[in-house]
Structure 1
């Protein structure tokens, strides 16, 4: 049996451990050259070989060549298109040498990445056929054991690559592994649900289907749980090390190796037979996977039953718009509640309206709406803010991100908010566009959050961003964000002081999950002269808790809370999440007059109950000011 046939057989029967990230590992190790990391196969082959060896020593038994973006289209950006074949052949040779030196029983597969990478096409997709063929031919000629087509955002591009490469593998029988990168759980960028995508890939001749990149372990797990995998297909998963965050000007990943190993077992239970890591993962992550799955047998895939859809209730009649003071006015008199409720990701606003009405009736003093949080496109918070203000009498507090608009767009946007009478805003930096559902989009960042706060206050003086005098003055009340989940709280407070100096009128914090952190924030910020709204977001279940704790930058959850929520699931878990939050609210109102409740996954019933609870606890103080 040749190597390709053996690898294909093992993919069908064994649990195999793949390797982890290559490019991001190079950057973590100090690579700074403004060129293709694939060029290292020629300029520094020993470095590439050491990375392969590190993964083999960690337990990987399937290693990928350093050839992900070694295609003519990508290499042409650096003037390297003439070296396409040479780089791919060198990538295979280096991986083979690493394997021989390690004396491990492992396989070498040729990595081929998406050409479009989720960007808007500049030419017809079919024109990339020769690009895929050139790269695949070089890898196959050098004798790889398999081909890995990975990080494809669009099924159509992946089907094209399969159509080009499948004929090249017929003689050798080389297996082709295919991995999609999802921008949201369960659906590709070009609109395929994952079940249909896998079915199309099977028909096109894929030996393995799976997911990699973009999502961390929990979100990949959630995607696979909802997916029907066709019989006869092997399944793979190469998650990112959680979500990336911008730390000191560089992208960093949060997920730790132990957590990665624990979730690998859960992926194995979904029938995944090949488990590795993508962006942000290291040999430590792979070592944890290898240790966690050691001795385990392949699990037969159990496909899910169809989901049950819930009918949306009819909208209640409009409420009479009240003449509300700002949250800063209110919090000076009594405990005040801001509730965050995300706008929808589609064109149906029915549930959003229902939730807004329920929150208003529960006593929310303002509903705050993110500005495309996590860089994911949502309905305009300006539009929905105007609707709930004029039609429902609910005070909106909209987020304004630095990410999406240049200075022209920012001033225009703020002028529009002013015209609509929406004067309460929260200025934030915004998550980088590359982490969202349109990774080809540009992150603008013409200004920082500090600068934008100053410029909004400049509008309040009747001066445009350009310095031009305007006929009227705006009346914006400007909030700023505060992340207390950092190694050095004093440094975060210094940053907060700068925001207040820039003109911030109030502060809203990231969600807090324990009393110790709550008290630490109070003690560290007691000198801050503006109101602080402490963030509290109820947990919806154990997986939500694990995801927030391990994969989302800026959030940490006490082990005791994680252990507590793990005892429940479904509605009982959400009820426990509300109870945990109530206990935290009971302490929070002792230290803060501003409470900022964050609605998880549109479960507005949870924040309705918490809003009512805040007012129950603080009814005495509300009566004192004549409410």
Structure 2
């Protein structure tokens, strides 16, 4: 006698799901780092053992061993060409391991899987979901389970491509970092409603949280009518002790939690990371012979379903250089933080640059991977002490996403809202070559995520009570072989949300004109980098050793005519003034880079830019 359709069964029954696959395999001695999904091919008996253990514990909803059996995840192990074979084999192994009264469900996990979303890749994700689902359906599963999706947008994409493939039930489960809200900013009420509209037959939650937090989430969520609710919590929070992973929740606690989930109207109840057959056995025993209870939704008195959160909107702060440069020539001057604990010379230089008229003082973030004093601390000091406008570089290299968001929140509290996002040189090139380079995200990702703070959402999607007001810059290096490729990369930074561009230093009219022609279609300001030469040796180093930078024979000869010292630096300023004249013909933005802490040179150039700009305005009048 064929089994009843899964959704029809859930309308009138409780159904016990299975527990974790990966963490249970780990407890069985399978090492971390291998592709667990590949075991369905190379060691099917151990996978059968896991399925059989959960079935014997009372589970009648058995997930195939295919959470990461999509092309993206398998490619990390060189197995991307085995998608179809692996998914079919996993369905066969699961079916062989359990009785005919169990539902074998094809599990499909998120491709993004906690990483930063890249909208440019979403189309390829759809193709991968279709490929995996097609293989599972061909393998004879009873339903499709989409699980552990942090972002509603990605889960809707998966539903969009899989729903037309089958009339079998599809279970759509989100995983949340914050109680009650997806990473991309939707309340669960809104998310479940959208999933229902997109064709999900069952909606629910799994992973990330233990029973208590998942219970809190569903207590305050409206579940669409006639839609069964599923819950698969973790066994509490993950801990590590003496190099071993463990979870805190014991089976008895899971049994008690199962009763609470039943009271909330859940029909499909299982476990996720850290759960074992004993957790499932306890839930099955507690719920045995019990009928399901109807779902009673909470009364929502505010607009819970909107993605835009209710918040206090921050007072609008000035967009600083972006506003200024659209009106007149504007000067940003870079002054590197010190490498030691003495700030006297740095502060003296910052005061001189402010007095010279610098519109912003930009501070690098451990440039060249060399340890320097925190630009956040120094930026706050010069803002408070001199009224200077700090513009801080933020490197992707040194902070993970937790640190990056914390850093930005600190900048907001200090009233610093102008930043320049850079990739950062790898740590191995710096003064601590044994340090780790983090690179959780690329510069494109970080620009997008800072703009997400401006929209009122944290990196994880949690709503903020105030919006950020960051003005975000991006770097442009024109000194590359493939100039057109560099321009395309720059355009992507603008698409990600960059408000302005700062270039590496240039040393000839030809490059200035080339940058102008290549960027004139961009509707954001460009600040041309100019760094005065300090000596003949400095000129020869830049010309002969720095990729892409070429000085004219005349400029090198002029520097060679002077001994190192004050006269050479005066000549370097004279050459820089000529470059400024050229740049001001095409751009309002001038970015002066202080060489070797000779801030007197960039202070003089700052005054020159403003004097020349004022003279030009006077002529126009």
TM-score normalised by length of structure 1: 0.50
Aligned equivalents of 1:413, 1:21: Cα separation in 2? 44
Aligned equivalents of 1:406, 1:50: Cα separation in 2? 54
Instruction: Decide which moves more: 222-231 or 5-14.
Output: 5-14
Find 2:111's aligned residue among 91, 109, 115.
115
Q: Give the direction of change, closer, same or farther, for the CA distance of 1:438–1:89 in structure 2 (3 Å limit).
A: farther
Q: Tell me if the contact between 1:118 and 1:189 (Cα under 8 Å) persists in the aligned partners.
A: no
How much has 1:232 moved relative to structure 2?
A: 1.0
Instruction: Show the counterpart of 2:294.
Output: 300
CA offset digits 1:428-466 (Å, max 9, x no partner): xxxxxxxxx9799999xxxxxxxxxxxxxxxxxxxxx96
Instruction: Show the counterpart of 2:74.
Output: 75
Aligned equivalents of 2:404, 2:380: Cα separation in 1? 29
Aligned equivalents of 1:411, 1:37: Cα separation in 2? 44
Output aligned runs, 1:9-20, within 5 Å.
Answer: 9-20=8-19
Find 1:162's aligned residue among 159, 166, 182.
159
Aligned equivalents of 2:97, 2:243: Cα separation in 1? 33
Q: Give the direction of change, closer, same or farther, for the CA distance of 1:418–1:204 in structure 2 (3 Å limit).
A: closer
CA offset digits 1:388-426 (Å, max 9, x no partner): xxxxxxxxxxxxxxxxx9997997459839987xxxxxx
Q: Give the direction of change, closer, same or farther, for the CA distance of 1:409–1:267 in structure 2 (3 Å limit).
A: farther
How much has 1:294 moved relative to structure 2?
A: 1.1
Aligned equivalents of 2:269, 2:142: Cα separation in 1? 17
Aligned equivalents of 1:410, 1:236: Cα separation in 2? 50
TM-score normalised by length of structure 2: 0.50
Find 1:178's aligned residue among 172, 180, 183.
172
Output aligned runs, 1:420-569, within 5 Å.
Answer: none
Corresponding residue pairs, total:
335
RMSD: 3.3
Aligned equivalents of 1:66, 1:13: Cα separation in 2? 28
Q: Tell me if the contact between 1:117 and 1:440 (Cα under 8 Å) persists in the aligned partners.
A: no
How much has 1:305 moved relative to structure 2?
A: 1.3
Instruction: Show the counterpart of 2:444.
Output: none
Find 1:126's aligned residue among 99, 123, 128.
123
Q: Tell me if the contact between 2:370 and 2:431 (Cα under 8 Å) persists in the aligned partners.
A: no
Aligned equivalents of 2:182, 2:169: Cα separation in 1? 23
CA offset digits 1:371-397 (Å, max 9, x no partner): xxxxxxxxxxxxxxxxxxxxxxxxxxx
In structure 2, runs of 5+ residues without a counterpart are: 304-308, 315-365, 382-399, 407-429, 433-621
In structure 1, runs of 5+ residues without a counterpart are: 310-344, 351-404, 421-436, 444-464, 468-627
Output aligned runs, 1:135-534, within 5 Å.
Answer: 135-169=132-166, 173-306=167-300, 412-413=373-374, 416=377
Aligned equivalents of 2:184, 2:163: Cα separation in 1? 22
**SS of alignment partner, residue 137 of structure 1:** helix
Instruction: Show the counterpart of 1:317.
Output: none
**SS of alignment partner, residue 203 of structure 2:** strand
How much has 1:295 moved relative to structure 2?
A: 1.3
Instruction: Show the counterpart of 2:23.
Output: 24
| 4+ residue runs over 6 A deviation | 345-350, 405-411, 417-420, 437-443
Q: Tell me if the contact between 1:19 and 1:286 (Cα under 8 Å) persists in the aligned partners.
A: yes
Q: Tell me if the contact between 1:120 and 1:440 (Cα under 8 Å) persists in the aligned partners.
A: no
**SS of alignment partner, residue 157 of structure 2:** helix
Instruction: Show the counterpart of 1:570.
Output: none
Q: Give the direction of change, closer, same or farther, for the CA distance of 1:418–1:278 in structure 2 (3 Å limit).
A: same
**SS of alignment partner, residue 150 of structure 1:** strand
How much has 1:303 moved relative to structure 2?
A: 0.4
Aligned equivalents of 2:131, 2:404: Cα separation in 1? 28
